[in-house]
Amino acid sequence: MEKKRIGVLTGGGDCAGLNPAIKWVVKTALDDRLQKMRKIEYEVVGIRDGWKGLVEPEGDQEAPAPRIYTLTEEMVRTWDRYGGTILGTSRTNPFDSKKDRSKIVLENIERYRFDFLVAIGGEDTLGVAHKLYLEGVKVVGIPKTIDKDLSGTDYTLGFETALNVITEEIDRLRTTAGSHRRIFVVETMGRHAGWLALEGGESSGAYIILIPEYDFEMEKVNELVFEGRKKGARYDIIVVAEGAKSSGSSEISKDEGVDSFGHKALGGIGEYLAKEISSTTKIETRSISLSHLQRGGAPCAYDRRMGRYFGIAAIDLIVNEDFGKMVSYRNGTITSVQLKEAIGRLNLVDIKTQYDTERYNGRRTILGA
């Protein structure tokens, strides 16, 4: 039987759902019944720490052990229960113009005899996958990011688990906020996309939701708070996306620097809002950033299932020799799109159909805009 080697890696920010996807890449490739049908024997090899694993496969000072190792069904059997990524991840960009290491990656793909690669990641990791594809590498992608900002798919791994975290934490905040008649401003992640704030705010019944796709007016936020109190609200939950900003100002970042993909570390809008609200309304206001809690914990049932379906579909693409594609979930069906389509532009909230610009909240009608 013909033998082929598949390398699998996870890149970018971790999230729940990565391990289920890895498990199902391995199980599908090694399935003995399917192997007989395909007449190809696959070996699946884990690549640790994202693209760093192909830049420094033998390890480095930080991680002195080899980053390439064969995965067996027995090894991955329980992986779908665990959060994060057992393969490890990094934000390594081999095509960084300041330090281009793409040739090293191409050499290592040859050296380690990878016939195919499965890259599990967001915009950045899949952007690298696409560039490698243009260099002739037979690569397929699996979408993951709690930000849900990849185009070409209705779902990215990690999103639902992150929504569950937001909802559960806000449930906890409600009891303490209510006891003290306080306002709580909850900052979510999401970069330039408002999905986590919008859908997390909707799931938890937040009073105000502020997203990057629509600049808010500070005055309007305060007016809404007064209005709610007049109607009898004892406390308020305001959810704000880290990338949201008031009109005329820019996003708030933690520091000036950018990572190797050119992203700023956003954060701080929640604290800013809390100060502004309390100074005008004189209502005690606290802020909390849910930060990396949103990426942590065990995958919810949905991420386990979607990881499974995406993992199976990635191997199907390889079997069909359909490279340069990302598996995707579209209108209730598992399908695939060109990697180029997935990374070309961000998938953002559509203000016209999904956001209420009067109430600063999710829309309350399904009728046309």
Instruction: State the catalytic residues.
Output: 147
Whose Cβ is closer to ligand F6P: residue 197's or residue 317's?
A: 197
Among 27, 48, 138, 295, binds ligand F6P (CB under 6 A): 295
Report the residue number, 167 or 280, with the smaller CB distance to ligand F6P. Answer: 167
Provide, for the chain, the percentages of residues in helix, strand and coil under a 3-state DSSP scheme, each rounded to the nearest 5. 40, 20, 40
Query: Which of 9, 271, 24 has the alpha carbon at shortest distance from 124?
Result: 9
CA 360/CA 51 separation, integer angstroms: 40
What is the helix (H) or strand (E) element at residue 301, kind and residue range?
A: helix 301-319
- Interaction of residue 52 with ligand F6P, rule CB under 6 A: no
User: Does the protein bind ligand F6P through residue 192 (CB under 6 A)?
Assistant: no
Binds ligand F6P by CB under 6 A, chosen from 7, 11, 13, 311: 13
Contact region with ligand F6P (CB under 6 A), list: 37-45, 187-195, 324-332, 361-369? 187-195
238 contact partners, CB below 8 Å, separation of at least 6:
183, 184, 185, 186, 206, 207, 208, 209, 210, 221, 273, 277
Does residue 191 bind ligand F6P (CB under 6 A)?
Answer: yes
145 binds ligand F6P (CB under 6 A): yes
Residue 245 interacts with ligand F6P (CB under 6 A): yes or no: no
Q: Is 264 left (phi over 0), alpha (psi -120 to 50) or beta?
A: beta
| Contact status: 101 vs ligand F6P (CB under 6 A) | no
User: Whose Cβ is closer to ligand F6P: residue 56's or residue 242's?
Assistant: 242
Residue 217 is inside which H or E element, if any?
none
User: Among 117, 119, 240, 266, which residue interacts with ligand F6P (rule: CB under 6 A)?
Assistant: 266
186 contacts ligand F6P (rule: CB under 6 A): no
Work out how close the CB of 52 gets to ligand F6P at its nearest, in angstroms, rounded to a whole number.
14
212 lines the binding site for ligand F6P (CB under 6 A): no
Q: How far is the first Cα of the chain from the last one, in angstroms, to the nearest whole number? A: 58
Q: What is the DSSP letter of 111?
A: H
- Does residue 189 bind ligand F6P (CB under 6 A)? yes
Shortest CB 260 distance to ligand F6P, Å: 11
> In the window 334-363, what residues touch ligand F6P (CB under 6 A)?
none
- Residue 268 Ramachandran class (φ > 0 left, ψ -120 to 50 alpha, else beta): left
Q: How far, rounded to the nearest angstrom, does the alpha carbon of residue 357 sit from its chain's CA centroid?
A: 26
- Interhelix angle 18-30/301-319, rounded to 10 degrees, is 40
- DSSP code of residue 79: G
CA distance 276 to 173: 20
Site string for ligand F6P, 56-95 (x = CB under 6 A): ----------------------------------------
| Minimum separation from the CB atom of position 173 to ligand F6P (A) | 20
- Contact call for residue 148 and ligand F6P (CB under 6 A): no
**Which positions touch ligand F6P (CB under 6 A)?**
13, 122, 145-147, 189-191, 242, 265-266, 295
